[in-house]
Amino acid sequence: MSFFSTNVTDDVLLALGLTLFAGLATGIGSLIAFFTQSTNKKFLSIALGFSAGVMIYVSLVEIFVKAKDALTAAHGDTKGYWLTLVGFFGGMLVIALIDRFIPKASNPHEVKTVEDVQYAQEHAEAERLMRMGLFTALAIAIHNFPEGIATFMSVIQDPSVGVAVAIAVAIHNIPEGIAVAIPIFYATGKKMKAFKWSFASGLSEPLGALIAFLILMPFLTDTMFGIVFAGVAGIMVFISIDELLPAAKKYDEAHSSVYGLVAGMAVMAVSLVLLA
């Protein structure tokens, strides 16, 4: 039983391109930071909620189910379901361990606004700000690597799902770009240097996709596909619960994060029906 598109070359190119787009959204974050004096918190809350809605819906309704279908077809209902659960919670464990060993100040799940880092600049020396920015860039690079694999695998399995995942990942990468660029800019006074570090921190996402293509694809049986795809679902659900929803609620105004969450789920649901 095969779960892959017949036009593999086109799917791979699309997957690599979308993953590159999602990763380099960190550069968009740095540009926003340089050209705005304050963060539109209502928009940020809606956008993060929307991203979480897309990720949660597509993970639980589409990706998890297709992973289970692949594994139960290959191993039977009981064993296949257990393997799906192992992959799902294994994905959560991977991203949780990455977060566990990243210092809180540099953790990309600690979403920062322009005002947050401006306050830090007023109360810290340039050397510490520079260190903050570089450590945040490294943390985001490490964190984005499995996200790159997740985005790539989503596109390979179903391009319509992959597009939605890439957009959701790109949205949540924008605040991460702010967290890298602003402290480096305040430490050095050089916008281009800050932009380059912010831009570079997102490159690990397409690198993760490239690793998935070179290492996973040649050995991607239905069993491995099912386990990896279940892990993708686990990674995205964890990111949504641990990062996106708390950040959206932090900047919430009149339940805007909830409206964004529901809108993200609705858009994802409708797109899956229309593109089926």
- The per-residue pLDDT for range 180-221, each reduced to its tens digit, is 777 777 777 788 888 888 888 888 888 888 888 888 777 778
Strands (E), 55-210: none
| 110 annotated ligand binder | no
Distance separating alpha carbons of residues 179 and 191, to the nearest angstrom: 14
Q: What percentage of residues in the chain have a pLDDT greater than 90?
A: 15
Asked, for residue 2, whether it belongs to a domain, the answer is no
| pLDDT beyond 50 at 266 | yes
In this structure, what are the phi and psi dihedrals at residue 148, rounded to the nearest 5 degrees? -65, -40
Task: Read off the tokens for 31.
Answer: 């540009």
Q: What pLDDT does 116 receive?
A: 55
| pLDDT beyond 50 at 6 | no
| pLDDT beyond 50 at 48 | yes
pLDDT band at 26 (very low <50, low <70, confident <90, very high): confident
- DSSP letters along 166-225, please? HHHHHHHHHHHHHHHHHHHHHHH--HHHHHHHHHHHTTHHHHHHHHIIIIIGGG--HHHH
Q: What pLDDT does 141 receive?
A: 79
- CA dihedral sign, ordered 122, 29, 130, 240: positive
Asked, for residue 240, whether it belongs to a domain, the answer is yes
SS3 19: helix
Domain that holds residue 106: 8-274
Q: String of b and e for 99-138 (b: at least 16 CB within 10 Å)?
A: beebeeebbbbbbbbbeebeebbeebeeeebbbbbbbbbb
Distance separating alpha carbons of residues 22 and 76, to the nearest angstrom: 36
Q: What pLDDT does 2 receive?
A: 46
| 147 annotated ligand binder | yes
| pLDDT beyond 90 at 82 | yes
Task: Read off the tokens for 271.
Answer: 């797109």
| 176 annotated ligand binder | yes
Query: What DSSP character marks residue 120?
Result: H
Counted domains in the chain: 1
Mean pLDDT of 73-84: 95
Asked, for residue 242, whether it belongs to a domain, the answer is yes
Alpha carbon separation from 5 to 2, 19, 148, 156 (Å, rounded)? 9, 18, 20, 7
Distance separating alpha carbons of residues 123 and 127, to the nearest angstrom: 12
* Tokens 């993953």 belong to residue: 19
Asked, for residue 84, whether it belongs to a domain, the answer is yes
| 107 annotated ligand binder | no
- CA dihedral sign, ordered 198, 204, 207, 208: negative
pLDDT band at 80 (very low <50, low <70, confident <90, very high): very high
| pLDDT beyond 90 at 78 | yes
| 172 annotated ligand binder | yes
Task: Read off the tokens for 83.
Answer: 């393997």
- Which of 52, 17, 20, 33 shows the shortest CA–CA distance to 176? 33
12-16, 35-39, 212-216, 233-237: range with lowest mean pLDDT:
35-39
Asked, for residue 1, whether it belongs to a domain, the answer is no
Distance separating alpha carbons of residues 213 and 222, to the nearest angstrom: 16
Contact (CB, 8 A) for 35 and 249 = no
Asked, for residue 199, whether it belongs to a domain, the answer is yes
> Whole-number mean pLDDT of the chain?
79
Q: What pLDDT does 69 receive?
A: 93
